[in-house]
Amino acid sequence: MGAEGLRGPDDRGEPALRAPHPEGQKNVKGDYERVYTLLPAPEGTSQGLAGYLSGGEQQMLAIGRALMARPKLMLLDEPSLGLSPLLVKEIFGIIKDINQKEKTTILLVEQNAGVALSISSYGYIMGKRQGGARRRDG
Q: Which tens digits make up the pLDDT trace of 63-80? A: 888 988 889 999 999 999
In a domain, 130, yes or no: yes
Share of the chain above pLDDT 90, in %: 28
Q: How many domains does the chain have?
A: 1
Residue 70 backbone class (left: φ over 0; alpha: ψ -120 to 50; beta: rest): left
Residue 131 backbone class (left: φ over 0; alpha: ψ -120 to 50; beta: rest): left
SS3 12: coil
In a domain, 61, yes or no: yes
Tell me how far the alpha carbon of residue 38 is from its chain's centroid: 10
Least confident stretch, 2-6, 58-62, 93-97: 2-6
In the DSSP assignment, the letter for residue 107 is E
Instruction: Indicate the pLDDT class of residue 129, thresholds 50, 70 and 90.
Output: low
In a domain, 14, yes or no: no
Q: What is the CATH number of the domain that holds 45?
A: 3.40.50.300
Residue 82 sits in which domain range?
A: 20-137
Distance CA 125, CA 138 (A): 13
Give the global pTM.
Answer: 0.68
| Mean pLDDT confidence for 106-129 | 89
In a domain, 15, yes or no: no
